[in-house]
């Protein structure tokens, strides 16, 4: 049953990475909006 926990952990890590990437891209877009006059 160890593989079930391993797959859940890997999926959770990938999900966290994806959320982090989306948040970072949204933050970059907000920074670009502030730079334009």
- Position with higher pLDDT, 12 vs 34: 12
pLDDT of residue 22: 97
18 vs 33: CA distance, rounded Å: 23
Average pLDDT on 10-34 reads: 93
Q: What is the pLDDT of residue 5?
A: 96
Decide: pTM greater than 0.85: no
Per-residue confidence band for 32, with pLDDT thresholds at 50, 70 and 90? confident
b (16+ CB within 10 A) / e for 1-13: eeeeeeeeeeeee
Domain ranges of the chain: 10-37
Sequence length of the chain is 37
Rounded to an integer, the average pLDDT of 8-22 is 98
Instruction: Answer yes or no: is pLDDT of 16 > 80.
Output: yes
Compute the distance between CA of residue 11 and CA of residue 18 in angstroms, rounded to an integer: 10
């Amino acid at each position: 049953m160890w593989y079930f926990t391993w797959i859940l952990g890997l999926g959770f890590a990938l999900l966290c990475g994806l959320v982090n990437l989306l948040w970072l891209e949204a933050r970059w877009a907000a920074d670009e909006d502030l730079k334009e006059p």
